[in-house]
């Protein structure tokens, strides 16, 4: 069976009656670009683990009506991972949003560090979600990471109170423990990264005094997005290995 085209249906629009309607943007893509017609089967997902097969009943560039065939729920990973990333004016942010979907991040927290470039937005930008939705369509993911912005290190530390383990990933020689897949399979984890300019000494001290464990990513200093991708890949490997 050929791979089905996938469309996003927001959680609040998910049907209780077995009937669903796509947004105008999704309908236009379905009708005008992919040229679907009534009787075709497509896949819908809500970004929160729910997905299903639907038959198109009516299709136009303004609205698509569908009937449910099968609906499934995919659980969250048993060891969820949050990345707390120092804010950057990074051209690679969109790329990282896509990879966080592909590799199964649970949450992304962008936070204002002392060396951050620019001021962090007060709320996540809608286009960030759009990028993640497009990535999920391509890779078949059923969950989208939640994304939040935090104004200070204090907000990061406060958010970390609910986690089983809190990791500080940085290039200090004092960080002698190498991050491994097994470490990321030990329950709910938050991993903190600095911005491209790195962390100030007072920031690392603040994290360490609040119970964060200093962990190394190896002898090479990795760029912001590379460090995050490496952490995501190790967690993905741990999940795939059971």
Is residue 79's pLDDT more than 60?
yes
Mean pLDDT computed over 106-121: 95
Question: Measuring CA to CA, how many Å separate 171 from each of 115, 135, 168?
Answer: 15, 30, 10
The answer to whether domain 6-73 has CATH 2.40.240.20 is yes
Q: d(Cα 51, Cα 183) in Å, to the nearest integer?
A: 30
* pLDDT(77) > 90: no
Domain range list for the chain: 6-73, 81-240
Q: Which of 115, 104, 97 is nearest to 153 (CA)?
A: 115
Extract the tokens encoding 85: 């990333």
Q: What is the pLDDT of residue 209?
A: 95
CA angle 57/58/59 to nearest 5° reads 130
Residue 101 · residue 130 · CB < 8 Å: no
CATH number of 81-240: 3.40.1280.10
Q: What is the pLDDT of residues 178-209, one digit of tens each?
A: 999 999 998 999 999 999 888 999 999 999 99
């Amino acid at each position: 069976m050929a791979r089905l085209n996938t469309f996003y249906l927001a959680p609040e629009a998910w049907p209780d009656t077995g009937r669903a309607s796509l947004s105008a943007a999704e309908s236009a893509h379905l009708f005008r670009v992919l040229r679907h017609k009534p009787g075709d089967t497509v896949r819908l997902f809500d970004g929160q683990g729910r997905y299903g097969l639907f038959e198109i009943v009516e299709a136009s560039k303004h609205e698509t009506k569908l009937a449910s065939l099968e609906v499934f729920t995919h659980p969250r990973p048993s060891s969820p991972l949050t990345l707390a990333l120092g804010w950057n004016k990074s051209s690679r942010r969109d790329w990282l949003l896509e990879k966080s979907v592909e590799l199964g991040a649970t949450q992304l927290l962008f936070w204002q560090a002392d060396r951050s470039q620019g001021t962090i937005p007060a709320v996540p930008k809608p286009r960030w979600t759009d990028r993640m939705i497009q990535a999920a369509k391509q890779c078949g993911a059923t969950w989208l990471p939640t994304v939040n912005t935090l104004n200070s290190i204090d907000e990061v530390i406060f958010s970390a109170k609910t986690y089983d383990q809190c990791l500080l990933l940085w290039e200090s020689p004092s960080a002698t423990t190498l991050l491994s897949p097994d470490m990321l399979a030990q329950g709910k984890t938050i991993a903190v990264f600095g911005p491209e300019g790195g962390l100030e000494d007072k920031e690392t001290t603040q994290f360490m005094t609040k119970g964060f464990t200093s962990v190394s990513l190896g002898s090479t200093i990795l760029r912001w997005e590379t460090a995050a991708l490496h952490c995501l890949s190790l967690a993905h490997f741990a999940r795939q290995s059971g």
